[in-house]
Chain A
Amino acid sequence: MPGVYFTTTEFLDDAKSAAKDRGMPGIRMIALPADTYYRSRSTQAELQPIAAAVFDQMVDDLVRPLTADEAKPSQIQKQHENTNIKVTGSDYQDAYQNVNDLFLDSRWADGLPIVPPTPVLVKAMLAATTRSPDEVVGQVAPKNGTATVEKIAVNSVMAGAKPEYFPVILAAMDGFVDKHFDLTHVQASTGSFTPVVIVNGPLAKELNFNSGIGMLGHGWRANSTVGRALRLSLLNIGQTWPAVNDMALTGRFEAYTFFTFAEDEAKSPWEPYHVALGYKPEDSTVTVATSGNPLVLGGGAVAPWTAQGILDTVAARTSNVVFGWVHSQTYILVLHPDCAYELGKLGYTRKSLQAWLYEHTSIPYEKLLAATSGFGHASEIDEINQSIADGRIRPDRAQIFKNALKPGGKVPIVQSPDDFHIVVAGGSPGYSLLFSYPGPNWANETKKITGATLTKAGH
Chain B
Amino acid sequence: MEEFKVPPPSKINYLNAEYGLKSWLLTRDHKRIALLYLGSISFFFMLGGVYAMLIRLELLTPHGQIMTSTTYNKVFTQHGIIMVFFFLIPSIPATLGNFLVPMMIGAKDLAFPRINLLSWYIYMLGGIVTIYALLAGGVDTGWTFYVPFSTTFSNSYVVATGLGIFISGFSSILTGLNFIVTIHTMRAPGMTWFRLPLFIWSHYATSLVMILGTPVIAITILLLAFERLAHVGIFDPAAGGDPILFQHLFWFYSHPAVYIMVLPGMGVVSELIANFSRKNVFGYSFVAFSSLAIAIFGFLVWGHHLFVSSQSVYAGMIFSFLSFAVAIPSAVKVFNWSATLYKGSISYETPMLYGLGFIGLFTIGGMTGLFLAALAVDVHVSDTYFVIAHFHYIMVGGTLLAYLGGLHYWWPKITGRMYPEGWGRFSALVVFIGFNLTFLPQFLLGYMGMPRRYHYYPEEFQVLHVLSTAGASILGVGLLIPAIYLLWSMRYGPIAPANPWHLPGLEWRTQSPPPTENFEETPIVTWEAYEFAPLDDVEVVGKFGERKAEV
- Is the A/B pair a real complex? no
